[in-house]
């Protein structure tokens, strides 16, 4: 099927599903048919739509998704005035005009006019055939309006589109990435330009007494919330446990405030002990 709509998602729900994530980045999807010992394969070209109030992706689904927000200024948006009260009927009546407009956008693709660009986003083929065509059309529209050669065709002011930036912005808003970025920032501030061990992190997390400085308690709270979200506040963290949690996030780069933070580790050849450090570089443009 060309599209699949997931509706009635609870308000504010962040969506993550390994099966949908896999289907978004493969040409064919295979899995076991329920109830029988049979594996079936089908095209994974279906586009997934998720609708709900303030819903969004999280985890690996973030870099595979784009969001569209409908902003309303009334509590009963279903009763507002619509330009096309029957959208399905209007679309069927204007199908020829819509297809002509879409094909015009596609034919304006720089790829067909000798202007090749390196493919962007993780969806290389899609961007080469569709993404950059939309970007080129938006650029031409904005240029025409700015030069007063045409009138805006929508209520929204014309603007340039970059799918690369849109996908990156999605990842910047990913809750999992934000939490990791906060934790790595705390580690980098606690041990600036130096290495630390799992025992140091465990001690930092366990610093919760009233005698501790406010900064130390704040850092402990951030680390505990990220590495041990379900652990009771009164329960102490061991060095062994902290080491296991740290290893889960090795070599996992995350962007934060124009920087890229990565947790790195090395094993001391003599003591065989593991030493961690947070590597920070400038975010690529």
Each of the 285 residues of the chain gets a pLDDT tens digit; together they read 889 999 989 998 989 999 999 988 888 999 888 889 999 999 998 999 999 988 989 888 888 899 888 888 888 888 888 889 999 999 999 999 999 999 999 999 999 988 888 898 889 999 999 999 999 999 988 887 777 666 666 666 778 899 998 888 777 777 777 788 899 999 999 999 899 999 999 999 998 756 567 788 888 889 999 999 888 878 899 999 999 999 999 998 888 888 899 999 999 999 889 999 999 998 776
Q: Are residues 145 and 199 in the same domain?
A: no
Q: Are residues 65 and 110 in the same domain?
A: no
Helix (H, G, I), strand (E, B) or coil at 41: strand
What CA–CA distance (Å, rounded) separates 201 from 198? Answer: 5
pTM: 0.68
Q: Which pLDDT value is given to residue 177? A: 74
Supply the range of the domain harboring residue 250: 175-282
Q: Which pLDDT value is given to residue 74? A: 85
Q: Which pLDDT value is given to residue 169? A: 79
Query: How does DSSP classify residue 24?
Result: T
CB 221 within 8 A of CB 229: no
Q: What total of structural domains would you count in the chain? A: 3
Q: Which pLDDT value is given to residue 209? A: 59
Out of 170, 186, 204, a domain closes at 170
What is the Cα 68 distance to its own chain's centre?
Answer: 13
Q: Are residues 269 and 186 in the same domain?
A: yes
Q: Are residues 75 and 89 in the same domain?
A: no
Tell me which residue of 131, 111, 129, 127 sits closest to 119, measured CA to CA: 127
């Amino acid at each position: 099927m060309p599209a699949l709509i997931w509706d009635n998602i609870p308000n504010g729900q962040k969506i993550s599903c390994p099966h949908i994530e896999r289907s978004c980045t493969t040409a064919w999807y295979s899995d076991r048919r329920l109830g029988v010992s049979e594996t079936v394969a089908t095209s994974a070209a279906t586009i997934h739509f998720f609708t709900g109030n303030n819903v969004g992706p999280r985890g690996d689904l973030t870099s595979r998704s784009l969001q569209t927000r409908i902003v309303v200024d009334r509590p009963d948006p279903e009763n507002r005035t619509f330009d096309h009260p029957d959208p399905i009927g209007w679309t069927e009546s204007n199908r020829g005009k819509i297809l002509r407009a879409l094909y015009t956008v596609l034919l304006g693709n720089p790829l067909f006019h000798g202007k090749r660009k390196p493919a962007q986003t993780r969806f290389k083929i899609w961007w080469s055939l569709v993404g950059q065509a939309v970007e080129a059309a938006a650029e031409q529209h904005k240029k025409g309006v700015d030069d007063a050669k045409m009138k805006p065709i929508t209520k929204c002011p014309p603007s340039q589109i970059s799918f690369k930036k849109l996908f990156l912005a999605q990842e910047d808003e990913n809750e999992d990435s934000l939490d990791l970025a906060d934790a790595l920032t705390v580690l980098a501030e606690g041990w600036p330009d130096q290495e630390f061990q799992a025992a140091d992190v465990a001690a930092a997390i366990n610093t919760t007494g009233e005698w501790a400085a406010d900064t130390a308690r704040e850092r402990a709270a951030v680390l505990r919330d990220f590495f041990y979200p379900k652990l009771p506040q009164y329960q102490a963290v061991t060095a062994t446990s902290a080491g296991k949690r740290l290893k889960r996030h090795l070599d996992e780069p995350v962007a934060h405030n124009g920087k890229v933070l990565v947790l790195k580790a090395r094993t001391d050849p003599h003591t065989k002990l593991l030493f961690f450090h947070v590597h920070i570089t400038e975010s690529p443009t």
